Structure formats: C-alpha cells, structure tokens
Amino acid sequence: MKKVYIETYGCQMNVNDTEVIFAILAKAGYERTEQMEEAHLVMANTCSVRDNAEQRIWGRIEVFNQARKKKPEMLVGIVGCMAERLKDKLLETKKVDLVVGPDAYRSLPRLLEAIRPDSPQIDVLLSREETYADITPVRTDRNGISAFISIMRGCNNVCSYCVVPYTRGAERSRDPHSIVREACDVFQRGYKEVTLLGQNVDSYLWKSPTETVTFANLLARVADISSDLRVRFATSHPKDISDEVIDTMAAYDNICKHIHLPVQSGSSRMLELMRRKYNREWYLERVARIRSVMPECGLTTDVIAGFCTETEEDHRETLSLMEEVGFDWAFMFAYSDRPGTLANRTMQDDVPADVKNRRLNEIIALQNRKSLERYQGWIGKTVTVLVEGPSKRNPEELCGRASNNMMCVFPANGYKPGDYAHVEVTGCTSATLIGKVV
C-alpha cells in the first residue's frame, strides 16, 4: 500500500475536506500516515484567506522538497483554496506535481495515475453541484467524540475583502438525507457531537419536488437523531440568521447554545464598504434577539482591523460594539488585501501597516479583558460538559466543552471520554473554565 501524508491549513471546512480526500485516496490504494518521511504522496490542503496563510504554504513547499531529496519517488501535491487561486503558478515552480481545487477531489486517483516526471497534473474546475454527499469521510479527529459534517459548499456572498467565493465557487446545499445518514452513522460509531459546517449555514436550502428544507429544519432533523447527540454549527451570517433558527436552537436541549456570528466591524460605514449587507444596528438587534431567547448562549465573532479607508472613528465603533456585546471569544485579523477581490480591484488598501497593527492590538486587548469577564461570569454555575479526553496539562484531569463552547477542565473522578459531566465552575482563565464534577 502507498502512503499519503496531508497537512491541513485554514478553516474547519478544510479539515473535513481532508477527510474526504483520505476517503477518495483510500479507494485508489493510499493509506494515511502521519509521518511525512514515509509518505509516497505529501500534500498540503491550503488556505488563501490572508496573505500570511499563503506565505506559510510556500514555506511548506520548500520543506516537502527537502524531504523529497531523500526519497526521489515522493510526489508533492497542493490542494484546496490556494491551488484554486494560483493554479499553474504553483506548477511553474517545478516543485509541485499535483494541483487540485476544492471541487475536483474525485479526480485525484486519475491525476495521480497520470503524473510523470515531466508532466505534473492539475484540475481546478469549480462545480455547481459537487457536495461529496456520497463520500464517507475518513475521520481524522483524535478523540472519536466530535465529528465535522459539511452541509454545503461555496459562498454566494461577495464580501468585498474575501477570496472564498473565488476559491470555493458558488454556494450549493447538500442533500439533507445524506447529512442525516452521516450524522446517524457517526453516532452509531460512538461519536457524541456533530458540527454542521458551511460558510453561511443560515442560507442552507434544499429543494426537491417533494420537500423544502431550511437550515432550521435541518438542525431539527439532526437533533432528532438522539437526545444524546450534541449538535453544533458554524458559521452563521448576521444578515441571514433567522428567528426560526434561534427558536429551533432554544427548543432542543441537545443543540448547543453557541453561535459564531462574525461581525467584522462595528462601523456601519465599513460594513457597507465590506458589502456585509447589515449595519451595526441590525447586528445588535440579532444579538438582542438571541439573548432574549437564550440568555446563556455563547457568542463568538470575527473582526477585521484596518479595512480600506477605516478611520479612528470607525475603529472606535468596533471597540464600542465589542464592549457592548461582550463576546466570549473572537478571531481577530489585520486586513489583508487579496488579489481579485472587489476591495482589491476598486479600493485602496490605505491604512498603514503600523496603524492596522496598533488597532488590532487594541481590539485584542479589549477582547482579552472581555473574555475574562465572560468566563468569570460562569463561576458558581454548573455546566454540562461533553468529555473529550485528558486535559493537555494534567493527565489526571479531563477536558471538554460546555454547551456554550467554553473549554472546561476538571479532575477526572471516574469520568471518561464521551460521558456528559455536570461540572460546577470554581475558577477560570480567559479561555478555560475550571471546575469539579457535582
């Protein structure tokens, strides 16, 4: 059997895509390895969302080629979003034998057959239909407790800073029956949690002659599999998250009370330039609605500092929105100009790097303070934790997530991975709840 080694970069969807790739390659006689040196095929599943994500991959291509010096028959492949964006440019380096975009993974066996020393292979066709619905991913999680399930691919929004619609193509939803089947299957194999993935899950829509399934309907169907199976999802879009989705979350104990709701900016002027299709007031209204129905719902977000023309005033509005909402956690980035996007073609990346970084640092400092406050707010309360495994620091302790997605560590007390533990929170850091089983 030949061996394949894959490194995964970027979002959770890429993690799941790597699992699909392993499944496709298994049929072509490739077995998974975690040791690059012993692999016949070495790949990186890549991300293009920010320039530094791509710079990292260029570095990995050098490392792969170093490894190849010791093993000349080794093949090097670049797949995923950067393969889609750069296409032949990757082949021109002569350091890559295979370039495959996110919708072309079914061609991998055929392309691998066709590779010759002087003829690398490429397939970067995007599709309107491909959802890999019939492929059972080879799970790569280490705990056997929590699985990712892609429910849709691509994105139909045109946020002006974002490269994803170009690398992943048009939005398409996956057949709900195949999603429910996959969730049942992982549950039967001992998994206790599924995370439904899409760039904008709220716009999930499946229509057939006999049924129309919205995201809220899909959530309910997956939650109905078993009250012992937890359901999570990401990412929600503020313009599309409906009352129906919020009410469905509230109606099911096993749908986790956590929403990742990227705001990007607190300034309505910036949101307009970003083409996010909501403004500050709309966002705050959605948060108010979520909290009125589910007061304890965890809220996390993404923020971009220093987008085109951003002023100090715009920046202060981002800080004040973060202050007002009080997110549990946030992914925070300095704006990175991406070739081909609307912002790249029509706007000036005019906020100097030092200003971007200063604003980003202010955003991070504010969020760290807020995170600590939010975590401290749970001290004295009891949370239900799905045990994932031993904690990293102390093997006598277990870790797992509360419904609101906060990581929680506590003395094992006979509990094991896959159990639900009721944990009283006795302390915290700004990223972890600390407690004891009650």
Q: Rule CB under 6 A: which residues touch ligand SAH?
A: 49-50, 161-162, 164, 199-200, 235, 237, 262, 264, 302, 304, 333, 335-336, 338
The structure tokens listed for 403 are: 């419904």
What DSSP letter does each residue of 283-339 carry, written as one string?
HHHHHHHHHHH-TT-EEEEEEEES-TT--HHHHHHHHHHHHHH--SEEEEEE----T
Closest C-alpha to 46, from 163, 204, 194: 163
What is the torsion angle, in degrees rounded to the nearest 10, for the CA atoms of residue 27, residue 139, residue 36 and residue 25?
A: 10
Window 187 to 216, contacts with ligand SF4 (CB under 6 A)? 199-200
- The CA distance from 58 to 52, in Å, is 10
Residue 47 contact partner, candidates ligand SF4, ligand SAH, ligand F3S, none, CB within 5 to 8 A by sort of partner:
ligand F3S
The least CB distance from residue 301 to ligand SAH, in Å, is: 8
The structure tokens listed for 279 are: 């403004």
Residue 50 contact partner, candidates ligand SAH, ligand F3S, ligand SF4, none, CB within 5 to 8 A by sort of partner:
ligand SAH
Of 8 and 200, the one with the shorter C-beta distance to ligand SF4 is 200
Of 270 and 294, the one with the shorter C-beta distance to ligand SF4 is 270
The residue within the footprint of ligand F3S, chosen from 4, 10, 360, 418 (CB under 6 A), is 10
DSSP-derived secondary structure letter, 154: S
Sheet holding 146-150, edge to edge: 146-150, 193-197, 230-234
Helix or strand (DSSP H, E) at 152: strand 152-153
Binding segment (CB under 6 A) for ligand SF4, from list 157-165, 211-219, 376-384, 424-432: 157-165
Q: Does 49 bind ligand F3S (CB under 6 A)?
A: yes
Of 82 and 322, the one with the shorter C-beta distance to ligand F3S is 82
Residue 367 contact partner, candidates ligand F3S, ligand SAH, ligand SF4, none, CB within 5 to 8 A by sort of partner:
none
Window 79 to 108, contacts with ligand F3S (CB under 6 A)? 80-81
Window 164 to 203, contacts with ligand F3S (CB under 6 A)? 164, 167-168
- The CA distance from 24 to 261, in Å, is 33
List residues binding ligand F3S (CB under 6 A). 10-11, 13-14, 47-49, 80-81, 163-164, 167-168
